[in-house]
Amino acid sequence: MMDIRPNNTIYINNLNEKVKKDELKKSLYAIFSQFGQILDIIALKTLKMRGQAFVAFKDINSATNALRSMQGFPFYDKPMRIQYAKEDSNAVAKMKGTRCPWPSTAGWWGRCPSSPPNQILFLTNLPEETNEMMLSMLFNQFPGFKEVRLVPGRHDIAFVEFENEIQSSAAKEALQGFKITPTHAMKITFAKK
């Protein structure tokens, strides 16, 4: 498979199929974050996608180092097989501003965003104890973060503003489904313009 050009996303297969999806993603994050900033990890448990995962890095060097260093690494008792993904992930594409390079039939990486990118993110499914400081701490690790706006009288929704769409996209991809509490996985969409 040497004809696939290097890109920010690596494709891993021969993973142990018995490992739960959430545990697999956490473990992949733990071993691959040493190589650079990770934008997204996709691991699906559908029949066709079992034992496979995609890790999207912020830059190509990170992906290349990860591929070289972790090739054949015994992970849950099975040696990992790693290659570059055929295309950049949507997370990487959005960061670069080349939105949605794939047809939506590439369903394993999620469809193109239904609402156009916006520098303001809309958060839903937030737990009752959410406050401005919690959200600020979570989002200010991303470049371009400006502010968090809570909605008076509503604890479950909030807005987060970045300087531009590329920066908001990177934060959206990284924190999509982030569990603020064990029962609340945050949902992030672009605010409607």
Ordered structural domains, the chain, with CATH: 9-91 (3.30.70.330), 120-190 (3.30.70.330)
Over pLDDT 70: what percentage of the chain?
81
Q: What is the band of 183 on the pLDDT scale with cuts at 50, 70, 90?
A: confident
160 vs 141, higher pLDDT? 160
What pTM does this model have? Answer: 0.49
Q: Mind listing the pLDDT tens digit for each residue in 135-152? A: 999 999 888 999 999 988
Residue type for 59, please?
Answer: D
Least confident segment among 7-16, 76-85, 102-111, 162-171: 102-111
What pLDDT is attached to residue 80? 95
Q: What is the band of 99 on the pLDDT scale with cuts at 50, 70, 90?
A: very low
Q: Determine if residue 177 is left, alpha or beta; phi over 0 gives left, psi from -120 to 50 gives alpha, anything else beta.
A: left
What pLDDT is attached to residue 85? 84
Handedness of CA 87, 92, 97, 103 (dihedral sign): positive
Q: Mind listing the pLDDT tens digit for each residue in 21-79? A: 888 999 999 999 999 998 888 887 776 778 888 898 988 999 999 999 999 999 999 99
Give yes or no for residue 101 having a pLDDT over 60: no
Contact call for residues 167 and 161 (beta carbons, < 8 A)? no
